[in-house]
Amino acid sequence: MKTNSSVKKLALAAVFCAVAVVGSLFSFPVFGSKCAPVQHMVNVLCAVLLGPSWGLGAAFCASLIRNLLGLGSLMAFPGSMCGALLCGLAYRKTRKLLPTLVGEVLGTGIIGGLLAYPVAVWLMGVPAASVTFYAYIVPFLISTVAGAVLAGVIVFALEKNGALSQMQNKL
């Protein structure tokens, strides 16, 4: 029975990863970052349906595939992964939508935005003097708030008609 549940979760995580990759085609540039709100929507859906570890894995895979396909930058890793982990932990602890959305915004917008600075300087070769350590917070916040609002609408609708609990019980 446990194996069947793991296979279902793996399949759903793969679908969410694919949605995030395809959704990155709908991105917009803000300063030095590509904002992809679909990734943040996927993070919240993974948190609610799969949990923090599956969400973290899906975010990593989506970031890797986006980079391999040239659809994203290395900034995708700290932004999406911090948000996925924090919102997954928030949902696990509270089982409520609002703290989950706040976890996504804080994880991606603040923590991911701060972690993007060393990625830009050390891995992407951006001169440290040309960017401040908090430079990526604003673009990450714009992207994650848009994705969190979208996810909030979807999860609220699923909760309202009872589909969310049915989906969670099937996993």
Question: Six-digit token pair at 87?
Answer: 């919102």
Q: So what's the pLDDT on residue 34?
A: 65
Q: Amino acid identity, residue 82?
A: C
On the CB side of 107, how many CA atoms lie within 13 Å of its CA?
30
Q: How far apart are the first and last CA of the chain?
A: 11
The mean pLDDT of 94-117, rounded to a whole number, is 95
Band (pLDDT 50/70/90 cuts) for residue 73 is confident
Q: So what's the pLDDT on residue 75?
A: 87
Band (pLDDT 50/70/90 cuts) for residue 2 is low
Mean pLDDT of the chain: 91
Q: So what's the pLDDT on residue 1?
A: 56
E-strand ranges in 25-136 read 28-30, 33-35
Buried b (16+ CB within 10 A) or exposed e, 3-34: eeeeeebeebbeebbebbbebbeebeeeebbb
How many percent of the chain have pLDDT more than 90? 68
Q: So what's the pLDDT on residue 124?
A: 85
What are the tens digits of pLDDT across the range 15-48?
999 999 999 998 777 665 667 799 999 999 999 9
- Nearest-angstrom CA–CA distance, 101 and 13: 19
Question: Six-digit token pair at 137?
Answer: 């917070």
Question: Six-digit token pair at 107?
Answer: 């994880």
What are the tens digits of pLDDT across the range 77-93?
998 999 999 999 999 99
The mean pLDDT of 98-102, rounded to a whole number, is 98
